[in-house]
Amino acid sequence: MNNVSTGNAGEYFVAGELERRGFTCAVPMSNTKDFDILIINRENNKQYAIQVKTTIHKKKSWMLSKKNEELYADNIFYVFVSLNELETPEFHVVPSKVVAEKIKEDHQHWLSVPGRDGTMHKDSSMRIFSDDDNIFLNRWDLLI
């Protein structure tokens, strides 16, 4: 699968799961800047913007950028999808503020330690979010 197909698959898996859980979903036809899916909870009418990040692998880490350190609000959530090498997908539902704080903290730590060759890491715009301990696995309950 190429990156576009992987991203599209993740978005549609997330939209399907959200619909199944009582949300109305809108997936914009064109690429939008800060969200991939808009949702409304059909029970309480709360609205959320969802940013979907997908990996085809079984690993629990996803690439982000420096801009994600500043992209947070109470109604913005990330759903990180692991397609598990085309087995059953896993979903990690994370509040945007948690993502912003974690990637900023992890990046600062990465900059402060030397690499394998002993030289210090150089700053870049790339960030990594990981959920190796599955803290946010299937945390759909955060969307209330």
Q: Percent of the chain having pLDDT more than 90?
A: 80
Mean pLDDT on 79-96: 91
Are the C-beta atoms of residues 52 and 11 closer than 8 Å to each other? yes
Confidence band, pLDDT 50/70/90 cuts, at residue 70: very high
pLDDT greater than 80 at residue 133: yes
* Cβ-proximal residues to 13 (8 Å cutoff; 6+ apart), any chain: 81, 83, 89, 91
* Cβ-proximal residues to 12 (8 Å cutoff; 6+ apart), any chain: 27
Q: What is the pTM of this model?
A: 0.92
pLDDT score recorded for residue 33: 79
Q: What share of the chain is helix, strand, coil (3-state, %, to 5)?
A: 30, 30, 40
H or E element: which one contains 50?
strand 47-55
More confident residue, 94 or 28: 94
Cα 42 to chain centroid, rounded:
23
CATH of domain 3-142: 3.40.1350.10
Task: Write out pLDDT tens, residues 2-46.
Answer: 788 888 899 999 999 999 999 999 998 777 778 999 999 999 999
Mean pLDDT on 92-110: 97
Domain boundaries, the chain: 3-142
* Cβ-proximal residues to 45 (8 Å cutoff; 6+ apart), any chain: none
**H helices within the chain, ranges in order?**
3-20, 96-112
- d(CA 51, CA 53) in angstroms, rounded, equals 7
